[in-house]
């Protein structure tokens, strides 16, 4: 790698641009170690920790100057910069998201100079090919979470274990659906089968769990057999678009996460079609802030380019509008669990650090590990800054009626 102390004119220009941008931050600061130089960029907030970053390769400056946070993520994957620990990375990303509008305006002002634009454009690098596939989800989820659950947990308190919080999440969804032994539940995007196994074990209902990943389906089926629940849980490697039949209850837990926004309508419409006329649909979704939804659809971000290629997040408004526009799905309840998502991501990234040796033993490419590091820190920062969140929604078809409310006698 080329040390940042040896700079061409273009490198000096991009370095000045990026440090100038960071210097315009008004809500927080970062310390940048660039060779023997130390730069305090931004305006420190009293009582708030100042994260630190170390420049390893001068290519960092060009990546950030041309691609913003996405370029910062690409540079992290390439090993062009690092932090003393992942807490610093998360804190730094929070600062960038918090100051995003200011930095975007300032960056646009810098770009007014045509000669400067030429320097920025020279030598841009393409994103790494197929990086997201280097570490399969079926490998990653057991490393991050002993319960083999790859979705937001629900913490009763900061003292709750991740296993307790995942069980609490599953139980709340079961209660939202009013599950009973007579129910036949369809889970779309079942992952490694954690919800299906919980619902069958705790509520005695039948569950058909589908996933479009053969590796996930094999692991989920093996878990069902090992737990003695294969008489209640059927695991299918299938596409939800090919399913037929009718189900009393349908559940999808963060299944929209890896689908493009053009697929959201078809996904929810298919879920509604598979529901009985008096059925219930429970959705747990990661969402982007309504104010950012249009921009995210147009431009994407680090996640949709590197970590979840082709994926897209709905907003609460787009989700509800889509569900209600498709027919007789009606919103019954909606709860924001964004803080729980941030805590889930924190627990996962700490486990990732603890499991570096396991990743090495699996032969995981270091670039793939750094991709997961940046993804977890980026998503945690976005949740903490309220740029993204997670919600649990319950929709009902037109013939569903709630149980009578028991009121005290007058």
Number of domains in the chain: 2
One domain for residues 297 and 187: yes
Given a cut of 50, is residue 121 above it in pLDDT?
Answer: no
Number of alpha carbons in the 13 Å side-chain half-sphere of residue 369: 19
pLDDT digits (tens, 9 = 90+) for 195-211: 999 999 999 999 999 99
**What pTM, to 2 d.p., does this model score?**
0.91
Look at 91-105, 110-124, 388-402 and tell me which has the smallest mean pLDDT.
110-124
Name the average pLDDT for the chain. 89
Q: How far apart are CA 207 and CA 188, in angstroms?
A: 11
Residue 262 has pLDDT above 80, yes or no: yes
**C-beta contacts of 134-137 below 8 A and 24+ residues apart:** 134/364, 134/365, 134/367, 134/368, 134/371, 135/364, 135/365, 135/368, 135/369, 135/371, 135/372, 136/215, 137/191, 137/213, 137/215, 137/216
Domain that holds residue 188: 137-396
213 neighbors 296 (Cβ within 8 angstroms)? no
H or E segment at 364?
Answer: none
Whole-angstrom distance, CA of residue 102 vs CA of residue 97 = 10
Among the candidates 100, 126, 152, a domain finishes at 126
What are 3-29's pLDDT values in tens digits? 545 567 888 999 999 999 999 999 999
Q: Are residues 114 and 141 in the same domain?
A: no
Does one domain contain both 142 and 241?
yes
The verdict on 299 and 245 lying in the same domain is: yes
The model's confidence at residue 127, banded by pLDDT at 50, 70 and 90, is very low
pLDDT at residue 112, as a whole number:
39
Task: Show which of 79, 96, 126 is a domain's final residue.
Answer: 126
Residues 67 and 175 in one domain: no
pLDDT at 310: 77
Report pLDDT digits (tens) over 238-251: 988 888 899 999 99
What's the pLDDT score for residue 7? 65
100/161 same-domain check: no
Element (H, E) at 377: helix 366-384
Distance CA 95, CA 28 (A): 6
Q: What is the pLDDT of residue 36?
A: 95
Residue 113 contacts residue 106 (beta carbons within 8 Å) = no
Same domain, 375 and 305: yes
121 Cβ contact partners less than 8 Å away, ≥ 6 residues apart: 66
Residues 271 and 350 both lie in one domain = yes
- The answer to whether 242 and 274 are in contact (CB under 8 A) is no
Type and span of the H or E element at 409: none
Query: Are 106 and 149 members of one domain?
Result: no
CATH number of the domain at 152, please: 3.40.50.150
For residues 340 and 390, what is the distance between their CA atoms, to the nearest angstrom?
8
Q: What number is the average pLDDT over the span 264-290?
A: 95
CA dihedral 131, 338, 265, 199 (to 10 degrees): 90
The answer to whether position 89 is within a domain reads: yes
Residue that terminates a domain, selected from 126, 148, 168: 126
| Structural domain contains residue 1 | no
- Examine residue 409 and state whether it is found in any structural domain, yes or no: no
How many of the other CB atoms lie within 10 Å of CB of 325?
11
Retrieve residue 109's tokens: 């002002």
CA-derived radius of gyration, the chain? 23
């Amino acid at each position: 790698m080329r040390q940042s102390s040896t700079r061409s004119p273009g490198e000096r220009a991009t370095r000045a641009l990026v440090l100038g941008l960071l210097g315009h931050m008004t809500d927080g600061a970062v310390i940048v170690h660039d060779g023997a130089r130390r730069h305090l960029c931004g305006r420190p907030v009293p009582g708030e920790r100042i994260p630190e970053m170390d420049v390893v390769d001068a290519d960092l400056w060009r990546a950030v100057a041309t691609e913003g946070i996405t370029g910062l993520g690409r540079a992290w994957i390439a090993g062009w910069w690092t932090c003393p620990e992942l807490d610093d990375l998360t804190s730094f990303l929070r600062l960038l998201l918090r100051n995003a509008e200011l930095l975007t305006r300032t960056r646009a002002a810098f770009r007014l100079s045509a000669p400067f634009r030429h320097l920025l454009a020279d030598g841009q690098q393409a994103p790494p090919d197929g990086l997201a596939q280097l570490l399969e989800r079926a490998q990653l989820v057991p490393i991050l979470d002993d319960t083999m659950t790859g979705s937001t947990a629900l913490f009763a308190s900061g003292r709750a274990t991740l296993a307790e919080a995942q069980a609490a999440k599953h139980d709340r969804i079961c209660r939202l659906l009013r599950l009973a032994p007579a129910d036949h539940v369809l889970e779309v995007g079942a992952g490694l089968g954690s919800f299906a196994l919980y619902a069958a074990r705790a509520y005695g209902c039948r569950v058909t769990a589908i996933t479009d990943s053969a590796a996930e389906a094999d692991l989920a089926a093996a878990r069902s057999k090992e737990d003695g629940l294969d008489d209640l849980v059927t695991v299918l490697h299938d596409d939800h678009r090919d399913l037929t039949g009718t189900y009393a209850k349908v559940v999808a837990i963060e299944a929209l996460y890896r689908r493009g926004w053009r697929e959201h309508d078809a996904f929810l419409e298919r879920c509604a079609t598979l529901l009985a006329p008096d059925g219930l649909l429970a959705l747990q979704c990661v969402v982007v802030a309504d104010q950012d939804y249009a921009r995210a659809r147009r431009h994407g971000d680090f996640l949709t380019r590197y970590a979840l290629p082709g994926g897209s997040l709905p907003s609460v408004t787009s989700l509800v509008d889509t569900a209600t526009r498709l027919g007789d799905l009606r919103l019954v309840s909606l709860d924001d669990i964004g803080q729980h998502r941030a805590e889930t991501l924190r627990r996962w990234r700490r486990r990732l650090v603890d499991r570096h040796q396991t990743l090495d033993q699996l032969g995981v490419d270091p670039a793939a590990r750094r991709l997961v590091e940046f993804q977890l820190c980026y998503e945690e920062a976005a949740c903490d800054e309220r740029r993204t969140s997670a919600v649990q929604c319950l929709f009902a078809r037109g013939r569903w009626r709630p149980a009578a409310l028991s009121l005290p006698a007058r």
